[in-house]
Amino acid sequence: MKVEKMTMPIYMDYSSTTPVDPRVAEKMIPFITEDFGNPASRSHPYGWTAEKAVEIARKEVAKLVNADPREIVWTSGATESNNLAIKGAGNFYSTKGKHIVTLATEHKAVIDAVREMERLGFTTTFLQPEPDGLVDIEKFKAALRPDTVLASVMMVNNEIGVIQDITALGNICREQNIIFHVDAAQATGKVEIDLEKLPVDLMSFSAHKTYGPKGIGALYVRRKPRIRIEAQMHGGGQERGMRSGTLATHQIVGMGEAFRIAREEMGEENARIKKMQHRLYEGLTEIDETYVNGDLEKRVPHNLNISFNYVEGESLVMAIKGIAVSSGSACTSASLEPSYVLRSLGRSDEMAHSSIRFSIGRFTKEEDIDYTIQLLKEKIGRLRELSPLWEMFQDGVDIDKVEWAAH
């Protein structure tokens, strides 16, 4: 196999975004060119056609998560959904209390929205998960206070793919009358979501993580018992006033079709992806000193996050140009900052720096997995030959006991 001769890298970054499924793209196109009407136009067939398409898509999105279509509010994506849920519900119910509980490992869209609430006078608790990435139910319970108004926990973590026990967490919130928001951007099509059973009040969705287009998402807002939110976007009063703005028909149609495909194919697809994850795991853990980040069982099959000890993350990413992956090391930015998610699990800075997130999906082939394993084995070996830390480890030096001069 010729490792260096690849033109485009193999895509192993499905957790950052997915390609639009060709079936989705095909369905979207007429709504850009011919059926371009504004779904809010009530006086002519252009509007009626668009409105009908929007409502079909709304049903498809609702169906994937077993919700009522009237509980689905279109947004521009999961970031907006998270903002709308946290700011919208937090502010609406602020007379009830001004304390919010969330996890330190949430997506930035949740963390920064919660931080914004601090600015508005709320107090907050950012819970550290256990080393396996999962929040301890008792610790979660203990963090709730009489003035807690909202809790926000993601279903599937974007970096390490672990699945939180949403049922248990939601039940605790129900008992204490606390609004429960769940960021499910990374969960749709990967884990089963049944909102008739799940004790969840608000749930954020994104299309582009599930083979739909970028720029479209949705927020589930429970009707029974009814959850109220303050609009964050004001204007024409679309989406029952919760989110104004002309609906992006083609994007919405794309999300509906993407979610329909997910519902129909996720069973078979996840079994296939699970096999590939296993193959990747088996292959990569043959390399010495590799550590999987996050629980391996309570995890979506699409994700494998591994730290390759004694190898620095950025040079590793540089070495494995043949595959497109994400690194837990953000040292290309001015501030050298390892992944805050991995740090929250108690991983050392250097382990966080040397982590790679492999995320696979619908179009990943078994040969891609084999190529990845071979590439990693070769490059990790080369970089460790270069690494003074590897040399020290081989000589039996405990690197944690060395006094390093921080710079």
Partner 1 sequence: MAYSDKVLDHYENPRNVGSFDKNDPNVGTGMVGAPACGDVMKLQIKVSDTGMIEDAKFKTYGCGSAIASSSLVTEWLKGKTLDQASEIKNSAIAEELALPPVKIHCSVLAEDAIKAAVADLKSKKK
In the window 265-324, what residues touch partner 1 (CB under 8 A)? 310-315, 318
Which one of residues 37, 170, 301, 338 is an interface residue with partner 1 (CB under 8 A)? 338
Q: Is 173 a catalytic residue?
A: no
User: How far apart are alpha carbons 371 and 269 in whole angstroms?
Assistant: 21
Amino acid at 390: W
Residue span binding partner 1 (CB under 8 A) among the ranges 51-59, 202-210, 258-266, 334-342:
334-342
**Pattern of binders to partner 1 over 384-403, x per CB under 8 A?**
-xxxxxxx-------x----
Residue span binding partner 1 (CB under 8 A) among the ranges 32-40, 177-185, 292-300, 328-336:
328-336
Which one of residues 348, 368, 370, 377 is an interface residue with partner 1 (CB under 8 A)? 348
- Cβ-based nearer residue to partner 1, 8 or 402: 402
Strand, coil or helix: what is 96? coil
Q: Which of 144, 319, 330, 331 is catalytic?
A: 331
Strand, coil or helix: what is 151? strand
Closest to 206 (Cα-Cα) out of 13, 20, 10: 20
DSSP calls for 200-233: -SEEEEESTTTTS-TT-EEEEE-TTTT-----SS
Q: Does 378 bind partner 1 (CB under 8 A)?
A: no
- Cβ-based nearer residue to partner 1, 8 or 334: 334
Which one of residues 297, 332, 398, 401 is an interface residue with partner 1 (CB under 8 A)? 332
Q: Does 32 bind partner 1 (CB under 8 A)?
A: no
153 forms beta bridges with 182
What is each CA distance from 8 to 93, 214, 229, 376, in whole angstroms? 50, 22, 45, 17
Residue span binding partner 1 (CB under 8 A) among the ranges 54-62, 97-105, 262-270, 382-390:
382-390
What is each CA distance from 128 to 135, 291, 306, in whole angstroms? 7, 20, 20
Site for partner 1 (CB under 8 A): how many residues?
30
- Cβ-based nearer residue to partner 1, 262 or 306: 306
User: How far apart are alpha carbons 91 and 87 in whole angstroms?
Assistant: 6
What is each CA distance from 85 to 82, 94, 183, 201, 338, in whole angstroms? 5, 13, 10, 9, 28
CB burial of residue 175 (10 Å; 0-12, 13-18, 19+): exposed
Question: What is the set of active-site residues?
Answer: 331
Contacts to partner 1 by CB under 8 A:
310-315, 318, 329, 331-334, 336, 338, 348-350, 353, 385-391, 399, 404-407
